[in-house]
């Protein structure tokens, strides 16, 4: 036999022997491991066969209630958190209280507007009327018109933005009992399409024209993401005014509560204010430039009027809040005056000041509600001090905040509440923090 072949054969035999020994030891080890894992289970198996703990956890009502209470405690983690309005299937983009405060309208990205009846802010559930917009439209913002039965909706579709005014039909007197028990759905009274050159609408706000010779009608302001703002007559849908901010990009716009002034926050640090002038017959005559608020060093992110329409509160990216007196004789070149300047009491991890996304002043003019992301703060408008903070008021960014214009029922009490909307598909109601006189 060739010596080379012999060596090769011997090598193959030795390799096979080594492989056999290795796999034998491996199999024995695996078997022992399987036995050690299986043995502990063999003893408790008879006890675990009925699986009483699992069956109790699935069917036991006490445990399910405790789980629900844990969820409730997580949802209501803040003492001012009163309630959550349910029913939204997507991000809530807009809110508006009716003039009497007993109805709250919401705009939702699921294509519907909901009008909640706030009979008691502490209710476990709230009745609401659902208004489905025409196919393809997504509500952006809502504003009540002359009363709680009419509402203006800003909607966005592929073709651009539209405005719809829905109004409830008064039930006809009839002998049919079915007609009496079921109220008719609101109907579209007027509509406008492809407004603002197809640009998105950022804000939609309304106010009663009660200043001067105003006839008490509701004036609606729609602010586009470009530079234009349009004023509408709430009841008829007629365009009554138009302004251009000429500031590259708008952030928002608002009308004073008495319907006299229109103010816009835009890309620059200056805030432009116009006056809505009314004719003797009460209709809008013209919209004229009145004044500019100069003092901020960076863009103004949001503003709001005081209840008496004589002051404007602004928040800027420069980290400050300013309160302005606009009750001046601007036609005699009298400039608006800065009454107070407060630092924004929010900072990031590096200590840099943050800016506020939204502002809303309480009906009594004492508390300023503010937001940054998902954080909600209440400030004393007199001192600028923080009254309370909810760091995670929602599970996502807050999209809108608004106060009820009048007290609403909360059990046996009548209270003013703050409503907040968010991308987390929720609308929350918040109690008012106490204002210390110190």
Query: Which range has highest mean pLDDT (18-22, 30-34, 287-291)?
Result: 287-291
CA distance 222 to 153: 10
Q: Is-contact 121 83, C-beta < 8 A?
A: yes
| 164-169 own/partner pairs: CB under 8 Å, 24+ apart | 164/133, 164/134, 164/188, 164/190, 164/191, 165/189, 165/190, 165/191, 165/234, 165/235, 165/237, 166/113, 166/131
Average pLDDT over the chain, rounded to an integer? 85
DSSP summary character for residue 200:
P
At residue 130, the pLDDT reads: 94
Q: Which CA distances in Å does 256 have to 140, 253, 264, 268, 309?
A: 21, 10, 11, 21, 5
Entry pTM:
0.80
Q: Are 111 and 124 in contact (CB under 8 A)?
A: no
Give per-residue pLDDT as tens, 77-116.
799 999 999 899 999 999 999 999 999 999 999 999 999 9
| pLDDT of 138 strictly over 60 | yes
Residues 377-403: tens digit of each pLDDT = 999 999 999 999 999 999 999 999 999
Tell me the sheet residues that pair with 271: 293
The closest of 124, 51, 126 to 87, measured between CA atoms, is 126
Lookup result for tokens 């530079």: 227
């Amino acid at each position: 036999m060739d010596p080379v072949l012999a060596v090769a054969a011997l090598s193959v035999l030795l390799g096979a022997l080594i492989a056999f020994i290795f796999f034998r030891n491996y199999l024995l080890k695996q078997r022992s491991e399987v036995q050690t894992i299986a043995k502990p289970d063999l003893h408790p198996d008879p006890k675990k066969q009925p699986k009483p703990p699992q069956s109790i956890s699935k069917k036991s009502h006490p445990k399910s209630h405790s789980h629900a209470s844990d969820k409730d405690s997580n949802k209501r983690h803040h003492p001012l958190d009163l309630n959550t309005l349910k029913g939204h299937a997507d991000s809530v983009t807009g809110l508006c209280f009716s003039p009497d405060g007993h109805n709250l309208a919401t705009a939702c990205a699921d294509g519907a507007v909901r009008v909640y009846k706030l009979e008691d802010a502490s209710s476990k559930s709230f009745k609401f009327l659902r208004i489905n917009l025409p196919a393809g439209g997504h509500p952006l913002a809502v504003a009540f018109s002359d009363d709680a039965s009419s509402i203006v909706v800003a909607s966005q579709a592929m073709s651009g933005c539209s405005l719809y005014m829905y109004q409830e039909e008064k039930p006809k007197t009839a002998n049919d009992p079915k007609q009496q028990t079921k109220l008719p759905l609101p109907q579209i009274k007027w509509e406008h399409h492809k407004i603002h050159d197809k640009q998105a609408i950022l804000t939609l706000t309304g106010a009663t024209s009660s200043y001067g010779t105003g006839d008490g009608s509701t004036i609606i302001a729609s602010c586009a993401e470009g530079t234009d703002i349009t004023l509408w007559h709430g009841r008829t849908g007629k365009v009554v005014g138009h302004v251009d901010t000429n500031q590259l990009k708008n952030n928002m716009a608002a009308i004073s509560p008495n319907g006299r002034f229109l103010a816009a926050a835009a890309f620059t640090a200056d805030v432009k204010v116009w006056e809505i002038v009314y004719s003797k017959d009460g209709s809008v005559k013209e919209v004229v430039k009145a004044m500019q608020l100069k003092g901020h060093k960076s863009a103004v992110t949001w503003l709001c009027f005081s209840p008496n329409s004589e002051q404007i509160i602004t928040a800027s990216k420069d980290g400050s809040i300013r309160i302005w007196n606009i009750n001046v004789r601007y036609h005699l070149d009298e400039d608006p005056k800065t009454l107070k300047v407060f630092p924004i009491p929010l900072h990031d991890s590096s200590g840099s000041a943050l800016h506020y996304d939204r502002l809303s002043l309480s009906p009594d003019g004492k508390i300023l509600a503010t937001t940054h992301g998902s954080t909600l703060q209440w400030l004393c408008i007199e001192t600028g001090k923080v009254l309370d903070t909810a760091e995670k008021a929602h599970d996502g960014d807050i999209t809108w905040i608004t106060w009820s214009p009048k007290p609403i029922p909360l059990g046996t009490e009548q209270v003013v509440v703050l409503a907040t909307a968010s991308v987390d598909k929720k609308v929350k109601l918040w109690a008012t923090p106490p204002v210390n006189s110190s």
